[in-house]
Amino acid sequence: MNKILTSLLSLGLACSAALAADAAITAVKVTDSLKAIKADSAVWSKAKFSSVTLYPQTAIEMNDKKANALCENAKAKKAQVAALYDGKSIALMVKWADGTKDLQTGATSTEYSDGFAVQFAGATAKPQPLPYIGMGSVGRPVVVHLQKATEKVYEPNGNKDVSIQVNRQQTDVFGKELAAFDAKVAALAVTDYERVFVGEGFRSLTEIKDGSMKAESAMIYGTSGWIGTLSRPLKDDYVNLSGTVPVSIAVWDGSKMGRNGLKNLSAWIAINLDGQKQNAALIADLTTDSKGNAAKGKEAAESNGCSGCHQMTSADSKSFMAPSLKNVGGYSTASYLRESIVKPSAAIVPGYNRNAHSNTPWYNIEKGKRISTMTDYSHLDKNTLDDIVAYLETLKAEVE
């Protein structure tokens, strides 16, 4: 704890002792333009920081034993998050401690970078209930802004053609000509890995590349941690933000081989645009815990067979049958957990590659719709449900 505090303080945080854990974030209204805001912009002195806890995402495992082993008992991390808005844009700053600066520096596939992402609920006719926290769900899209700490990375499958880089040995050029060749290749490298995606569930991410997204993100390494910034329009083709804005924050740790789903993720948290009418129902939805009894819920989960399919805690064996629930309480709201139990098909966790794990699909397709393979528990009485949800809320890693 001390180590974290010291490193957060050395990031230059205005860290007040009375920080409520995961309270809503207040976006302070400013008159300065936030369009090209950077981490060192003076306007950040007007911002208020709130503490947000990011839990290891453990719903599905990576297909990489080494990475899984490194993250086996990953802890939760604290981030400090602030927001500002002007008439047109919203800007976020995310600070988190990370003892090693991991940059992607080349074409190797064994090197992973630190990174962060901010996820917004995408514009739908009915914004509630919220999308599934892990990249959205069918009919409930999310917009994900991703920034990776990249010094130089070549993307053979991206827009830039680097075939000439791959064939350096076969160029048959030397001296000046080879230097010119290398310079040409270097110019093709991506040095600012900033991407925006829309998603409706794991592996459904589609990058927005048609110029319709006007966002700016960046990250800089301080004395012992990262400062990430993002600015984006309040309103565009993908979101329409006002009043109370649900967001979720993720960070990746390159030294733990973090990438894709292997990350730390917050639950949906509310950003209140100061001075605008807040959405009380949404805030209540995000912050209200179950009134049930967790100890009774643990028994009810056992007697109802939940652990037959799910890994509930690290002590249980892993299972391909269903998502691991060992951190589900960290990144889920009580209402999401309740919905998952009584309406399993409302928001589906898509699970593993369906070809590789064809014996344990997490959903079947019936009449073009995804139907969860989870037992329907809508018959459970209200108290039992409250108890189970209270129990699930306790399933989460400690803060490192």
Q: How far is the CB of 123 from ligand HEC (least distance, A)?
A: 23
Q: Could you give the CA distance from residue 109 to residue 135 in angstroms, rounded to a whole number? A: 24
Alpha helices in 105-246 (DSSP H): 163-166, 175-188
Our CB check for ligand HEC shows the closer of 259 and 310 to be: 310
Identify the DSSP state of 171: G
Q: How far is the CB of 365 from ligand HEC (least distance, A)?
A: 13
Q: How far is the CB of 6 from ligand HEC (least distance, A)?
A: 34
Q: How far is the CB of 238 from ligand HEC (least distance, A)?
A: 23
Q: Could you give the CA distance from residue 330 to residue 76 in angstroms, rounded to a whole number? A: 9
- 309 touches 318 (CB < 8 A): no
Our CB check for ligand HEC shows the closer of 353 and 375 to be: 375
Give the H or E element holding residue 89. Answer: strand 89-97
Our CB check for ligand HEC shows the closer of 71 and 325 to be: 325
Q: Could you give the CA distance from residue 378 to residue 332 in angstroms, rounded to a whole number? A: 19
Our CB check for ligand HEC shows the closer of 81 and 325 to be: 325
Q: How far is the CB of 343 from ligand HEC (least distance, A)?
A: 9
| Residue that has been written with the tokens 């209540």 in this structure | 284
- B/e letters for 141-163, b = 16+ CB within 10 Å, e = fewer, are bbbbbbbbbbeebbeeeeeeebe
Q: Which residue, 187, 190, 169, is CA-closest to 178? A: 169
Our CB check for ligand HEC shows the closer of 34 and 312 to be: 312
Binding interface with ligand HEC (CB under 6 A): 59, 301, 304-306, 308-310, 321-323, 325, 328, 337, 340-341, 344, 348-349, 362-363, 372-375, 377, 388, 392
Q: Could you give the CA distance from residue 145 to residue 221 in angstroms, rounded to a whole number? A: 19
Q: How far is the CB of 380 from ligand HEC (least distance, A)?
A: 7
> Distances from the Cα of 54 to the Cαs of 183, 252, 272, 287, 396, in angstroms?
41, 10, 20, 15, 10
Our CB check for ligand HEC shows the closer of 245 and 306 to be: 306
Our CB check for ligand HEC shows the closer of 123 and 309 to be: 309
Q: How far is the CB of 299 from ligand HEC (least distance, A)?
A: 12
Q: How far is CA 90 from the centre of its chain?
A: 18
> Distances from the Cα of 133 to the Cαs of 59, 151, 165, 348, 354, in angstroms?
11, 29, 38, 11, 21
Our CB check for ligand HEC shows the closer of 243 and 361 to be: 361
Our CB check for ligand HEC shows the closer of 232 and 338 to be: 338
Residues listed for the chain:
400
Q: How far is the CB of 330 from ligand HEC (least distance, A)?
A: 11
